[in-house]
């Protein structure tokens, strides 16, 4: 009996911590900063020539390694995506934006992640099929990674740490947060998950880099 009571107590604590974590995520989503400060990028870009995304290699959705240096010279939008999220319809806007801007030197990179309430539970092949069948996605989508926590992918450690990117600290608040990268591979800013890719502020920031 003492063992059962102890196990029950531990279970309650675990559930409470999980609940607090979820609530903190929702609080950050609705009340946290909506975007990073462009001033930080402008002030530090000359000092950040070596702090770029080009140092990273990740597997694409088919399992083939892709060096992000292959996107040199392009403006890059990095998005953590999920197929079972209230924001999943943003795939449609991301695809339309990519089609409109790809010939202007802009690329969208999608990184599936299951960090938020298990909203990307599928395998890479299932994610690929979902994106193609439901949204006709042709922009590059990568193998599923983690974008927060102890198993955070090195790319996202770079994107979220000023010490590493030289521009700003941030936290990934939910699925579909957007990180903007300039033509030299440097972090510029980020945009809130609920801010769509065709939002006036986003478009203005992207076009300023072209």
Q: Which residues are catalytic?
A: 85
Q: Are 62 and 128 in contact (CB under 8 A)?
A: yes
How far apart are the C-alpha atoms of 156 and 179, rounded to whole Å? 10
Cα–Cα dist 42/37, whole Å:
9
User: Are the beta carbons of 160 and 169 closer than 8 angstroms?
Assistant: yes
* Crossing angle (nearest 10°) for helices 90-101 and 124-135: 80
Q: How far is Cα 173 from Cα 28, in angstroms, rounded to an integer?
A: 6
Q: Could you give the CA distance from residue 21 to residue 23 in angstroms, rounded to a whole number?
A: 6
Of 115, 131, 164, nearest in space to 60 by CA: 131
Q: What share of the chain is helix, strand, coil (3-state, %, to 5)?
A: 45, 15, 40
* Number of C-beta neighbours around residue 7 at 10 A: 10
């Amino acid at each position: 009996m003492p063992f059962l009571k102890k196990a029950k107590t531990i279970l309650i604590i675990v559930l409470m911590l999980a609940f607090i974590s979820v609530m903190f995520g929702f609080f950050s989503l609705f009340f946290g900063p909506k975007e990073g400060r462009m001033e930080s990028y402008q002030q530090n870009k000359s000092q950040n020539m070596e702090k770029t995304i080009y140092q990273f290699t990740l597997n694409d959705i088919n399992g083939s390694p892709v060096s992000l240096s292959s996107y040199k010279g392009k403006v890059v939008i990095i998005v953590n995506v999920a197929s079972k999220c209230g924001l999943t319809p943003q795939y449609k806007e991301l695809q339309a934006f990519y089609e409109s801007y790809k010939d202007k030197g802009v690329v969208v990179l999608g990184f599936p992640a299951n960090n938020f309430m298990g909203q990307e539970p599928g395998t890479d092949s299932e994610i690929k099929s979902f994106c193609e069948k439901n949204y006709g996605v042709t922009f590059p989508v990568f193998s599923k990674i983690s974008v927060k926590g102890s198993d955070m992918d090195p790319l996202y450690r770079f994107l979220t740490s000023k010490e590493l990117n030289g521009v700003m600290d941030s936290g990934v608040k939910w699925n579909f947060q957007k990180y903007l990268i300039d033509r030299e591979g440097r972090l510029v800013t980020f945009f809130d998950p609920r801010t769509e890719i065709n939002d006036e502020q986003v478009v203005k920031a992207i076009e300023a880099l072209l």
